[in-house]
Amino acid sequence: MDPEGLEFQRERHVLFLEMMMERLPSDYETQEINHLTLAYFAISGLDILGALDRVDKDQIASWVLSFQAHPRTKSDLDNGQFYGFHGSRSSQFTIIDSEVSTHNCSHLASTYCALAILNMIGYNLSNLNSEAILISMQKLQQPDGSFMPIHFGAETDLRFVYCAAAICFMLNNWTGMDKEKAKEYIVRCQSYDGGFGLAPGLESHGGATYCAVAALQLMGFINADVSSKPAKSMVIDVPLLVEWSLQRQAVNGGFQGRANKPSDTCYAFWVGGVLKILGFYHFLNKGALHRFLLSCQSKNMLPDLYHCYYSFAALSLLEEEGLKPLCVELGITAINGHVWTTDVVIGPIRSSEAVHEKS
Ligand SMILES: [Zn+2]
């Protein structure tokens, strides 16, 4: 319990997420296109809370797999379409745009969420047609190293570089992207103040900064012991980044996403996660952050799934009792007691193999 009497209401949160799994309130109607992402928040949230036994894993696996886009033949892999996962049932409908019909709206973010969910419920990812995902994903990478999330054109920014890196990491296969080009793009997104913007030249932002640092970590460009390394050996300006990140903690203990903005629970994970990856988490005021997060627990109103999830993730970083530890750069927890770290990738057993062996 917090000195001010605030207590983490684990059981209430579990019930809330179970309810969200059962049926989403009508407020989420406009979010139908992101159904898989909303499911990721609920399932991963239950996982962090140590309550994944409340879900039917086989049912979830077949539901998630039903969103995968499959090439009809191997030659389809050259047609420029992305064969990942759709975000929802409606995105599997055919779209007719300028008289060209598109049957495939699979998206990098939905694919990240699909693989993350499949991982946390112990599904063996080697059963997937990962070649189709990875070969078609190469075509989403732009000449500047960034990624489009979908094959028929959309914004390109750091969010999708992160998704691509996490997908390659989870599939344990980096043929889906040109890592060097992606790294160059990420480096160009670091702003004069040390944070990262979503694209080169844009204002530093907590979410973008997480995407940059977590992607570099997954790609193996940041070592776990970065805090003890000389600054010059790093691909990005770490001291400036750490300073920018620490300055995001506001007087109320919470983190803001940008300078002069109110603090908000989700940045306790986005910015806190950056500090954790870089090994500077002990510099933030943990007690004040803990109090801020607990003061955001909602008693009467239904909180939104996104902020609820990232509050649990942030509390897991703070080692709240009863919460499972996170693999920060991947955004999911330990699997069957195995904590994913990028260190493991270069060790004798690769993390995904370890997961596959146990599943
Ligand atoms: Zn937020």
pLDDT in tens, 284-324: 999 999 999 999 998 878 889 999 999 999 999 999 999 99
pLDDT in tens, 152-188: 877 899 999 999 999 999 999 999 999 999 999 999 9
Q: How far apart are CA 185 and CA 181, in angstroms?
A: 6
Angle at 207 between CA 319 and CA 90, to 5 degrees: 105
Q: How far apart are CA 167 and CA 180, in angstroms?
A: 16
Kindly state the tokens that stand for 313.
């993730």
C-alpha 264 to ligand 1 mean position (Å): 5
Q: How far apart are CA 185 and CA 183, in angstroms?
A: 5
C-alpha 303 to ligand 1 mean position (Å): 12
C-alpha 9 to ligand 1 mean position (Å): 20
C-alpha 83 to ligand 1 mean position (Å): 30
C-alpha 292 to ligand 1 mean position (Å): 14
Q: Does 48 reside within a domain? A: yes
Average pLDDT rounded to a whole number, residues 253-264 = 96
CB under 8 Å to 350, separation ≥6 — which residues? 172, 344
CB under 8 Å to 204, separation ≥6 — which residues? 191, 193, 194, 195, 196, 197, 244, 258, 259
User: Domain residues for 327?
Assistant: 10-358
Q: Does 1 reside within a domain? A: no
Helices (H) and strands (E) in the chain, counts: 14, 4
pLDDT at 314: 98
pLDDT at 98: 60
pLDDT in tens, 24-49: 999 999 999 999 999 999 999 999 99
Angle at 109 between CA 274 and CA 93, to 5 degrees: 165
Q: How far apart are CA 20 and CA 218, in angstroms?
A: 30
C-alpha 256 to ligand 1 mean position (Å): 8
CB under 8 Å to 55, separation ≥6 — which residues? 21, 43, 46, 121
Percent of the chain with pLDDT over 90: 75
Q: Does 104 reside within a domain? A: yes
The alpha carbon dihedral of 157, 97, 87, 116 has a sign of negative
63 φ, ψ to 5°?
-65, -45
C-alpha 209 to ligand 1 mean position (Å): 14
pLDDT at 345 over 60: no
Range in 74-78, 108-112, 132-136 the model is least confident about: 74-78
C-alpha 139 to ligand 1 mean position (Å): 31
Kindly state the tokens that stand for 131.
């070649």
Cβ proximity of 60 and 114 under 8 Å: no
C-alpha 312 to ligand 1 mean position (Å): 13
C-alpha 315 to ligand 1 mean position (Å): 15
Q: Does 4 reside within a domain? A: no
C-alpha 348 to ligand 1 mean position (Å): 39
List the CATH number of the domain containing 335.
1.50.10.20
Average pLDDT rounded to a whole number, residues 12-27 = 93
Range in 3-7, 217-221, 352-356 the model is least confident about: 352-356
C-alpha 307 to ligand 1 mean position (Å): 6
Q: How many structural domains is the chain composed of?
A: 1
State the Cα torsion 220-221-227-231 to the nearest 10°: 160
C-alpha 244 to ligand 1 mean position (Å): 18
CB under 8 Å to 236, separation ≥6 — which residues? 186, 187, 190, 212, 213, 216
pLDDT at 336 over 50: no
Q: Does 2 reside within a domain? A: no
Runs of H (alpha helix) within 151-218? 158-171, 179-188, 206-218
Kindly state the tokens that stand for 62.
């077949």
C-alpha 11 to ligand 1 mean position (Å): 23
Mean pLDDT, the chain, integer: 88
Note the pTM of the prediction, 2 decimals.
0.90
Q: Does 305 reside within a domain? A: yes
C-alpha 257 to ligand 1 mean position (Å): 8
